[in-house]
Amino acid sequence: MTNWWQIAQRARGWLYRHDWRLALSLAALIVAAAAWMAWPRDASPSSTPAAALSVDEIETARERWVVVYVSGAVVHPGLYRLQPTQRVSDAIVAAGGITEDADSACLPNLAAHLRDGKEYRVPARGQGCKGNKKTRLDINTATRDQLLAVAGMDEGLADAIIAYRETYGGFQRLSELKSALGVDSTLYKQLQKSLTVP
């Protein structure tokens, strides 16, 4: 009994003296085991490959979402994921709506359905209406905002045009911009590209 007791005492004393080494060894073993478990391995030949999407599944995904780019005079320009049943107006609302300097006369077709990958731009005043280059504004019916969207137009001239219409019942000829309102030849040539008297 004495021998066993002495052996146990010696073992306990050795453990007390070397406990930090044992703890360090145990920690190293745990780290090594974790690294072995996490180490990437090639898939075994018997592994099942990932199934490819069928054409029907791709079409279903496209029918579920469209991604459009809303740019220009909106609060938060950027990419938006929306449903294909939604309209251009929904995309603009998703972008935070139009800003104060947006040209309300040059908005894209708000009623149109969204198309995947398309950009919907809201131009600011003075930038002109892209896509309507061939269409000239009727100077006798154009709103103030529409007039301000015309290249070369400033607020003073827009107000003068509206005042002239109210006083004289409208323009008979576009050249009255020169003869009645004093527009110089250079500006008149520029305005001719965007304004007309039908």
pLDDT single digits (tens) 131-175: 544 468 889 989 999 999 898 999 999 999 999 999 998 999 999
pLDDT at 44: 43
Torsion sign over Cα 147, 152, 154, 158: negative
Which is nearest to 157 in space by CA: 177, 140, 141? 177
pLDDT, residue 39, reads: 62
Determine whether 30 is exposed, middle or buried from the number of CB atoms within 10 Å of its CB (0-12, 13-18, 19+): exposed
Model pLDDT for residues 172-192, shown as the tens digit of each residue: 999 999 999 999 999 999 999
Is the predicted pLDDT of residue 58 greater than 80, yes or no? no
Max mean pLDDT range (28-32, 75-79, 105-109, 121-125): 75-79
Instruction: Answer yes or no: are the C-beta atoms of 92 and 122 closer than 8 Å.
Output: yes
Maximal CA-CA distance, the chain: 130
- The pLDDT value recorded for residue 101 is 86
pTM over 0.95: no
Rounded CA-CA distance 117/115 in Å is 6
pLDDT at 12: 61
Decide: 160 and 169 in contact? Cβ < 8 Å. no
Q: What is the pLDDT of residues 91-120, one digit of tens each?
A: 999 999 999 888 877 888 888 888 888 899
The confidence score (pLDDT) of residue 7 equals 62
Determine the Cα angle at 105 with ends 99 and 109, to 5°.
Answer: 90
Query: 3-state class of 170 per DSSP?
Result: coil
Tell me, which fold does domain 56-122 have in CATH? Answer: Ubiquitin-like (UB roll) (3.10.20)
